Structures are given as C-alpha cells and as structure tokens.
Amino acid sequence: MNIKNVNLHKTIFMSVILPVNGISPIMGFNCFVAPNATIVGDVIMGDDCSVWFNAVVRGDVNSIRIGNKVNIQDGAVLHCTYQKTKVHLGNNVSIGHNAIVHGCTIHDNVLIGMGAIVMDNCEIGSNTIIAAGAVVTEGTKVPSGCIFAGVPAKKVKDISEELISGEIDRIANNYLMYSSWFK
C-alpha cells in the first residue's frame, strides 16, 4: 500500500473529575489521569499516582484514600458502600486491569491482579499479591507476605523477596514510567 498523505484526527477527551455534594477529588503531585478515566467525590490521591483508561474511582457514597505511587489500571473500579465501608490504599499499590476494589483496606506494596475482586471489609496485608481472577470474599483478612488465589481466594504460598521486587515493585515502577509518556 502506497499512502502519500495521511490525515490524522486528534480528538480531545477529558477525564471526568467531578465533585459530589460539594466535595471534589484532590490529587497529589505528578499524577496522570487518562482522558476517559472517571474520578468523583471524596477521593484524595497521593503523589506519583495514575488512573488509566476507563478506570472509575467513585468516592460518591463514602471516602477513597489513595497513597503514593499507586496505579489503577484500565477498567478497574474503586467504590464503597454508603455509610458503611471506605476504600484505603497504601503506598506502592497496583490495581490490575478490570479489578474491582470495594470498601476495603489494602496496605503498602500490594499487587491486585487483573480481574480480581476484593470485597467490603477485607484487609490486604503488605507485600502481598492477590492473583488474577481471585475473589477475596467479604471480611477476609489477608496476612502480609503471601499470595492469595482462587474463588474464593485462599492462601497458596508465602511470597518471596524476588516476587516483591520482581513483581510488586517492578509493576509499580513501570506504571510510573508509563504515565510519564503521556505528560
């Protein structure tokens, strides 16, 4: 195919960042929000975070607190339960593509795998991986330093230092790099 002239359209999309009941999202320094991501209501995000394409962070019915160097990947949803549960994410957390994180606490250095679901009142300990497709049922307390997988999710093994640096840290650092490409 010999194409001599290609006209490219540049369509400008804007992220949906909206107040709810007079409370607007607050973002830290050096954050990237994709053009079709949605962040609404009582959301406070730390520094070096990214919210990717089609991700939704809904702080409309309760608060969402996000630490530093957190990435919320494409299609992920963060939400709460009205007057009952909040979302709290620590530092260096990766929320995988199409994951659902609902009304729970996730401590530092955690990877939530693609398509995983973490339900209300769960607590995910530091240095932990929730495997892709896992369903962490309501109220589950996941200890630090392990891998949970399955439906319902159960501990499959302790996490090694190699997985902490090779997966959890690597993914968080990569997403910080990827976000710089869009700035």
Instruction: Quickly state the pLDDT bin for 8 (edges 50, 70, 90).
Output: very low
Rg (CA), the chain: 17
pLDDT mean over 124-131: 98
Query: How many whole angstroms separate alpha carbon 29 and alpha carbon 76?
Result: 22
- What is the span of the domain harbouring residue 125? 16-180
In this predicted structure, what is the pLDDT of residue 112? 98
In total, the chain counts a number of residues equal to 183
Task: Look at residue 3 and tell me if it is in a domain.
Answer: no
Instruction: Quickly state the pLDDT bin for 10 (edges 50, 70, 90).
Output: low
Q: What's the predicted TM-score (pTM) here?
A: 0.93
Task: Look at residue 7 and tell me if it is in a domain.
Answer: no
Instruction: Quickly state the pLDDT bin for 12 (edges 50, 70, 90).
Output: low
What is the tally of structural domains in the chain? 1
What CATH number does residue 96 fall under? 2.160.10.10
CB atoms within 10 A of CB 29: 9
Q: What is the pLDDT of residues 37-57, one digit of tens each?
A: 999 999 999 999 999 999 999
Task: Look at residue 5 and tell me if it is in a domain.
Answer: no
Least confident range of 15-19, 96-100, 114-118: 15-19
Task: Look at residue 31 and tell me if it is in a domain.
Answer: yes
In this predicted structure, what is the pLDDT of residue 26? 98
Q: What is the pLDDT of residues 139-174, one digit of tens each?
A: 999 999 999 999 999 999 999 988 888 899 999 999
